[in-house]
Amino acid sequence: MITLGIETSCDETAMAILGEGKCVLSHVVASQVEVHRPYGGVVPEIASRKHIEMIGPIFIQCLNEAGIAAEEISGIAVTRGPGLVGALLVGLSFAKALAFALGIPFVGVNHLHAHIASVFLSDDHPQFPFLALVVSGGHTALYIVRNFEQMEIVGQTRDDAAGEALDKGAKILGLGYPGGIIIDKLAKGGNPDAYAFPRAMKDSLDFSFSGLKTAIVELLRKKGGDVLPSELPDLVASYQEAVVDVLVDKTVRAAELYQMSEIVICGGVAANSRLREKFSAVKDKKVFLPPLELCTDNGAMVAFLGFCLLSQGASHPFELNALSRWP
Ligand code: KG4
Ligand code: ZN
């Protein structure tokens, strides 16, 4: 079975082709970061238009890199949601057209479930059931993963996602976009204990990160609206630490509560070096972190989850619509 995975939920046009099981034959990601940078965040209308421009060429590139003809593809997986509806519809429509033309099945998958599945592309992967933390630009949630069809949310953010908190913090400090990666780099030279940022909802498995924005705005106000470049590393290291601390604490607590010995950390923020360092130091639990290129949005994770679902006989009709929220 050869599976094509298509991902267009936000600002990456990504595709991958998987050969038997999890053998990645090709893996292409076209990032729109430069297009959105002048606006300081993703502009949905521009994202959709860019996906339309890129999706055909990316498909051809993916076929060439895999060294196969389109007719050799036996199934298609596409992100159905959650995400920007206009952006999702580009991938979904492309998948439907291709499935129709080739006479093969297609399946729409949940983007967050695909992030969880990304860890199975490595040889060292967990056994069901396990606990997963999905931590991205739009979502922060803890799942008990029983199998690829049964994933139960046991904690999630009540407001901003962790990636959103990092991106917004960087924006407030005038550091640019995308903020998560900028903060990660800058924080390496800083003291994470220099400033006290709030850790919200300590007694719950739910998260709340929106207070961090207020805290940084307030701190800036006290400093007269500006911070010296020399103060930035300590400031962002402390801000990042507040996000990372809460993610590690609640994930370990959830694993204990639900008696899970294996933990998966995935999604764009799982690329954060401080988060990886702190999770790698967790004792008593086996922690799985996907390689960096599989943390941020990609087609391989969609293809792999689709491959698992298609091999169990799943497929969707052409009426399938995109979902901005799921569940
Ligand atoms: O999973 P993803 O690529 O897209 C969504 O599904 O949202 O995650 C994007 C998020 C952004 O908030 C970005 O700032 C964050 O992941 N991110 C990072 C790092 N790389 C990406 N945050 C912290 N450290 C990083 N190294
Ligand atoms: Zn994502």
Residue nearest to atom 11 of ligand 1 (CA): 137
Q: Which ligand is nearest to the CA of 114?
A: 2
Closest Cα to residue 2, out of 311, 315, 261? 311
**In sequence order, what DSSP letters do the residues of 13-37 get, joined into one string?**
EEEEEE-STT-EEEEEEEE-HHHHG
pLDDT at 22: 86
List, in order, residues 6 or more apart from 306 with CB less than 8 Å away: 3, 5, 75, 76, 77, 78, 107, 109
Radius of gyration of the chain (CA): 20
Angle, alpha carbons 316-317-319 (nearest 5°): 120
Q: 10 Å Cβ neighbour count for 59?
A: 19
Tell how far CA 229 is from the center of its chain. 30
CA 117 – ligand 2 centroid, Å: 12
Q: Residues near ligand 1 with C-beta < 6 Å? A: 10, 136-138, 163, 166-167, 178-181, 184, 267-269, 271-272, 296-297
DSSP3 helix / strand / coil % (the chain, rounded to 5): 45, 20, 35
Domain limits, the chain = 3-117+295-311, 127-289
pLDDT at 285: 98
In this chain, the answer to whether the domains covering 3-117+295-311 and 127-289 adopt an identical fold is: yes
Classify the C-alpha dihedral 295-298-299-305 as positive or negative. positive
The answer to whether the bond into 38 is cis (omega within 30° of 0) is no
Contact 156, 142 (CB under 8 A): yes
10-residue averages of pLDDT along the chain (327 residues): 98 96 93 96 97 98 98 98 98 98 98 98 97 97 97 98 97 95 97 97 97 96 92 98 98 98 98 98 97 97 97 97 93
The C-alpha atoms of residue 325 and residue 58 are separated, in whole angstroms, by 26
Residue nearest to atom 10 of ligand 1 (CA): 137
Class of domain 3-117+295-311: alpha beta
pLDDT at 225: 87
CATH architecture group of domain 127-289: 2-Layer Sandwich (3.30)
pLDDT at 226: 87
**In sequence order, what DSSP letters do the residues of 83-96 get, joined into one string?**
S-HHHHHHHHHHHH
Contact 81, 9 (CB under 8 A): yes
Q: Which atom of ligand 1 is nearest to the CA of 136?
A: 8
Q: Which atom of ligand 1 is nearest to the CA of 163?
A: 12
